[in-house]
Structure 1
């Protein structure tokens, strides 16, 4: 900063913990979580609101469906037609995202 004689370190304030999100280390109730890596690792997409979500990965990943009991998520191919489905609660620790273009979480 101007007029300071030594550099200042910027970062989180001491004593303030990061609040985990619904897809950090599992799948919170009411959510569908898609992961770029297997066993809930890598990048994540939180599918919470009823919508169509683009899946950008074409490799083995994983997902957890912890929406309200019986809610069905549809996995859509490039044609927009369903190629797979998941009824809550369920999950898959190793899932090939290659044929999946979008997921509808409701």
Structure 2
């Protein structure tokens, strides 16, 4: 009987230990359905300036798929856009600066983690004159279009934009 009680106690103790480990380990966010599980953006834990002490928010770096021709960071939001490209600028909370994606190849690009607070960013359409870039919302409708040469309005928010077709 003692052996049976010890075995039961061992099983119960192991179960509690495993449950405790699972409860204290960080949760992994699932990749969006249109992105492979291994294609997750780096994430950091940050607290907004006006947040109460101890409050934390998980922030993720903006990404684009398929990959942009070039990705770069600019600290003050000022950037150039080479001829033949649509350049999209978005705030990256994980770096504390703007991330610029140079889109050259004709594609429909899916955006991840491009929304939320602060200066939303902007775009510069330096493609061949007359080339139309389209910006799509979550339902697939065109939310905005840009005919080259063009630049984003003075205030631009990426919140409603889910995809960009640059050509």
How does the TM-score come out when normalised to structure 2?
Answer: 0.46
Compare the two structures and name the one with the higher helix fraction: 2
Partner of 1:96: 157
Q: Verify: 1:65 aligned to 2:135, yes or no.
A: no
Query: How do 1:4-15 and structure 2 match up within 5 A?
Result: none
How far apart are the structure 1 equivalents of 2:146 and 2:111? 15
How far apart are the structure 2 equivalents of 1:94 and 1:75? 16
Structure 2: which 5+ runs fail to align? 1-69, 92-96
Partner of 2:105: 49
- The alignment yields a C-alpha RMSD, in angstroms, of 2.0
- The 3 A distance-change label for structure 1 pair 94 and 55 is farther
Partner of 1:27: 81
Aligned residues: 83
How far apart are the structure 2 equivalents of 1:26 and 1:32? 11
Contact kept? 2:134, 2:142, Cα under 8 Å: yes
Structure 1: which 5+ runs fail to align? 1-20
Contact kept? 1:22, 1:28, Cα under 8 Å: no
How far apart are the structure 1 equivalents of 2:139 and 2:89? 22
Partner of 1:10: none
Contact kept? 1:65, 1:90, Cα under 8 Å: yes
If asked which structure has higher relative contact order (CA below 8 Å, sep 6+), I would say 1
How far apart are the structure 2 equivalents of 1:34 and 1:53? 11
Q: Deviations over 1:41-62 (max 9, x none)?
A: 6112111100011223014111
